[in-house]
Structure 1
Amino acid sequence: MIDFHCHLDLFPDPQNVLEGIDARGTYVLAVTTTPKAWRGTKKLVGDRKRVRVALGLHPELVAHRHQELPLLCGLLPEARYVGEIGIDGSPPHRDSLDLQKAVFDRILTECAALGGRVMTIHSRGAASAVLDALERRPNAGVPILHWFSGSTKELTRAVQIGCWFSVGPAMLKSRKGRELASAMPIDRMLTETDAPFARDGEHPLMPWQAYDSLLVLEMLHGVDRKALALQMKRNLKRLAQYATA
């Protein structure tokens, strides 16, 4: 099982979640929302082989935490995975849109200067702006658009410029989410939960529930879920090879 976008440090009891991850052999990318959270999350994860920690600065927090950008840039040489980063154009965050764009562009520039990183990217309400930035910095690394919610035209553009995608059970509950997922190339797709923000009823999704997505993807792509699971593992291996190159 693979959960390529999980806010491990934001669960009420992260250690309990890690024990569940260990018991099930789940592969997890633990994203962070601020650079200050990165070292603490790495310490929490310890030497686990199946869990990696991404260095992030969430766009929703940029207005109040942009002063942490130099810290992020200073830590980048130590981090092979970057996220959650990106741009949020939803109404509550439009006032900081210009600042978000500047921060995202700087992160991409720094990633490119270091030879590229595997990046998990937020693009809610700002898909075109995110794609514009990625086109300006084609050497920034491998962009994975998490929970993509743009238009079909923006999706086509994202595919053309080489983006990957991570999809989860919460995304696939909506008709639009399913329509977008049906057009995503399965050789550039991974499963995620976006937990604990994404929920299963009254409870947060757990990382080992990311493969619930395969039940829907099987119908959308006409590919057996076992074959999809193997494809996800191949995809993860390709990204891991890039991250360690």
Structure 2
Amino acid sequence: MLDMHCHLDLYAEPFEVAKKCQELGIFVLSVTTTPKAWRGTKKLELENSKIRTAIGLHPQVASQRIAELDLFDEILPHTKYVGEIGLDGGKDYSDSYLTQLKAFKHILSSVNRLGGRIMSIHCRYSAKAVLDELENIDGTPILHWFSGNKSELKRAISRGCYFSIGPNMLCSKKGQEILSLIPIDKILTETDGPFGKYNRKILMPWDASIANDIIAERLGFSREKVDFLIRNNLKNLIE
């Protein structure tokens, strides 16, 4: 089981959640919203766990935290995972868009300079702009909760992007359509917990399995086949 986009540090009891992930053997990509959060969040990587901590600067807080880019550059050599990063083109964040773009460009330049990283990317109302910035950048993008149009999806697929898909995304007709168009070797699962919810309940990392059930149903595969495919996709990504 895997959760490729989870804000582990933002649960009410993060160490308890991390312990259960450790017990269940769940691979968790624990994304951060600011560089300052990385060191504290990394403490959730319990012994023998499959929790990995990504360093990020969330676009929705970029205007408040852009001064932390120097810290981002300091930490980046010590992790192979970056996230949550990206752009948010929503109306609520239009005033900060140029600052978001400045931060995103800086992050991608730093990633490229160090030979690439696995990146969990926010692209809400901004898929084209995100893909534009990813041109000629080393590394492997995972587009979190992708909601772009078909031409943007086709372009992302051509770029070699992975897609992390959660139960919430699969509740919508558009999300189901996107799923049907993604190559099966590029599908990963996520929860976006504790922000992600399903049936009005906060999703925990182990609830990523709900997405496996829905994927199996929508694609006409057995649950066992979906589990195998997603495990194999993770293996190909991190190895």
TM-score by length of 2: 0.97
Q: Is the 8 A contact 2:22 2:49 kept in 1?
A: no
Measure, in 1, the Cα distance between the counterparts of 2:214 and 2:46: 34
Give the match for residue 190 of structure 2: 192
1:48 deviates by: 3.7
Q: Distance in 2 between matches of 1:203 and 1:69?
A: 34
Unmatched 5+ stretches in structure 2? none
Q: Offset of 1:97 from its aligned partner?
A: 1.1
Q: Report the Cα offset of residue 170 of structure 1.
A: 0.8
Is 1:12 aligned with 2:12? yes
Aligned to 1:138: 137
CA distance in 2, matches of 1:196, 1:27: 16
Counterpart secondary structure, 1:213 = helix
Number of paired residues?
A: 239
Matched position secondary structure for 2:112 = helix
Paired residues for 1:52-131 under 5 Å: 52-131=52-131
| Structure 1 residues 209-244: Cα deviation after superposition (integer angstroms, max 9, x where no partner) | 101112221233222221111111111112221xxx
The answer to which of 55-64 and 197-206 deviates more is 197-206
Q: Does 1:170 align with 2:178?
A: no
Match of 2:211 in 1: 213
RMSD: 1.1
Contact 2:119–2:140 (8 Å) recurs in 1 = yes
TM-score, with length taken from structure 1: 0.94
> Counterparts of 2:218 and 2:102 in 1: how far apart (Å)?
37
Q: Distance in 2 between matches of 1:46 and 1:214?
A: 25
SS in 2 for 1:45: coil
Q: Percent identity?
A: 48
* 8 Å contact kept, 2:21–2:49: no
Cα distance in structure 1, aligned partners of 2:30 and 2:174: 26
**Is residue 116–residue 137 contact of structure 2 (8 Å, CA) maintained in 1?**
no
- Deviation of the 1:25 alpha carbon: 1.6
- How far apart are residue 199 of structure 1 and its match? 1.2
